[in-house]
């Protein structure tokens, strides 16, 4: 069963007045083909894998409305239309009880989300794009960054169309980039918070650069001044450990993180930066594994007199203040304060 609806040669008049109307009109996962000046090459643009992350969709809609023609063909994949249209609109990451689509790009593909992921991989295979950009919003407000599984000049060039911060990570979580990277240079771009005007603006400007560049990888010796963050470690909660965010320790929860912890996103923290409160030992509350699967908790957090501190100077990012995301995904990612992998010698 095909889940995607395939659209091509869209005219500005076919679109509706806004992105929401456009989705309503089709009410299914969308694959939109835009023919380029050079129709022998194709790039892929994936967005709205999460229904509550609209920046990429808004940028794509604006492009379609403009009637402009990209430098090469672009195949645009917009999967989570149903989640985006569930009321209240653009607030559901996925439909209730569904798996996170960006964890489904590895077998088994035997539920609805898995089938959708498998079909996205098939579409990519058919078009064999010269690059894949997967655009997301971060869960909270925050700066933009790129993520890729593999770093080289091609990935630097691709990321630099959008942002100057690049996380190199190969956690094999089942994200689109984990698998598409084997066939095409792929980057995930997080343009910033889903409600941030800045994020929408960056999505638009980056999309224009990505669609309009004649050669994405042209400049051989450019220095893009990219800040690299290598092999971050995820701090996760153990099962049944309860978490809340507040300004003072909350006795009814195992862990209270400071409400303003997000302010440390991409900043350096020292062993004196209080992150929150908990009753130890930390190994009962959290897990953190390095690339080799070894416990790295001793390098991430420590408890002193009921206060939770970084174990050493760190750079933290993708910090959430949403307890549900923290419980089902992770609390934050950490690297050494110079951006290198923790535990590297
Ligand atoms: Zn996302």
Task: Read off the pLDDT of residues 239-254 as tens digits, 9 standing for 90 and up.
Answer: 999 999 999 999 999 9
Q: What angle do CA 144, 150, 153 make, to 5 degrees?
A: 80
* Spatial distance between the Cα atoms of 71 and 216, rounded to a whole number of angstroms: 10
3-state SS class at 216? coil
Is the pLDDT assigned to residue 345 strictly greater than 60?
no
Backbone angles phi, psi at 295, to 5 degrees: -70, 125
- Strand 332-336 to 314-317 pairing: antiparallel
CATH 3.40.630.10 intervals, the chain: 5-229
pLDDT, residue 280, reads 81
pLDDT tens by residue, 8-60: 989 888 899 999 999 999 999 999 999 999 999 999 999 999 999 999 999 99
- Whole-angstrom distance, CA of residue 41 vs CA of residue 130: 7
Q: How far is the CA of 50 from the centre of ligand 1 (A)?
A: 5
Nearest one of 24, 22, 4 to 13, comparing CA atoms:
22
Residue 322 has pLDDT above 60, yes or no: yes
Ligand 1 centroid – CA 61 distance (Å)? 18
The rounded Å distance from CA 49 to ligand 1 centre is 6
How many angstroms is it from 116 CA to the middle of ligand 1?
A: 15
Residue 138 Cα, ligand 1 centroid: separation in angstroms? 7
C-alpha 171/C-alpha 24 separation (Å) is: 35
137 alpha carbon to ligand 1 midpoint, in Å? 6
How far does the centroid of ligand 1 lie from the alpha carbon of residue 93, in Å?
8
Write down the pLDDT at residue 344.
53
Q: Is the model's pLDDT at 332 over the cut of 90?
A: yes
H/E element holding 26? helix 19-26
Instruction: Please give the CATH architecture assigned to the domain spanning 5-229.
Output: 3-Layer(aba) Sandwich (3.40)
Tokens 């992921």 correspond to what residue?
117
What does the alpha-carbon distance between residue 305 and residue 282 come to, in Å, rounded to a whole number? 12
pLDDT at residue 303 greater than cutoff 60: yes
47 touches 134 (CB < 8 A) = yes
Least confident among 216-230, 251-265, 278-292: 216-230
User: What pLDDT, on a 0 to 100 scale, did the predictor assign at position 220?
Assistant: 62
93-104 mean pLDDT: 94
* R_g of the chain, CA atoms, integer Å: 21
């Amino acid at each position: 069963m095909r889940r995607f609806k395939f659209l091509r040669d869209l005219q500005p008049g076919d679109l509706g007045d806004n992105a929401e109307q456009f989705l309503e009109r089709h009410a299914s996962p969308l694959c939109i083909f835009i023919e380029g000046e050079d129709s022998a090459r194709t790039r892929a643009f994936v967005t709205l894998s999460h229904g509550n992350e609209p920046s990429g969709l808004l940028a794509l809609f604006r492009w379609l409305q403009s009637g402009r023609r990209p430098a090469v063909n672009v195949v645009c994949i917009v999967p989570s239309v149903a989640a985006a249209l569930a009321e209240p609109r653009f607030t559901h990451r996925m439909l209730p009880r569904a798996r996170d689509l960006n964890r489904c790009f590895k077998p088994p593909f035997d539920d609805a989300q898995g089938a959708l992921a498998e079909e996205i991989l098939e579409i990519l295979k058919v078009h064999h794009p010269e690059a894949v950009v997967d655009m997301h919003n971060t869960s909270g407000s925050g700066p933009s960054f790129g993520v890729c599984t593999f770093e080289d000049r091609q990935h630097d060039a691709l990321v630099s169309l959008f942002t100057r911060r690049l996380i190199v990570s190969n956690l094999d979580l089942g994200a689109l980039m984990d698998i598409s990277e084997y066939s095409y240079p792929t980057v995930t771009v997080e343009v910033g918070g889903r409600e941030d005007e800045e994020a929408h603006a960056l999505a638009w400007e980056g999309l224009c650069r990505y669609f309009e560049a004649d050669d994405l990888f042209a400049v051989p010796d450019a220095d893009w001044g990219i800040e690299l963050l290598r092999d971050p470690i995820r701090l996760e909660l153990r099962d049944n450990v309860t978490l809340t965010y507040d300004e003072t320790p909350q006795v009814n929860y195992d862990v209270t993180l400071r409400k303003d912890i997000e302010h440390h996103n991409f900043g350096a923290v020292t062993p004196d930066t209080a992150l929150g409160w908990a009753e130890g030992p930390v190994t009962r509350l959290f897990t953190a594994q390095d690339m080799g699967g070894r416990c790295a908790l001793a390098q991430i957090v420590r408890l002193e007199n009921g206060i939770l501190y970084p174990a050493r100077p760190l750079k933290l990012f993708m910090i959430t203040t949403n307890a549900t995301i923290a419980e089902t995904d992770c609390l934050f990612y950490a690297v050494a304060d110079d951006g290198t992998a923790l535990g590297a010698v």
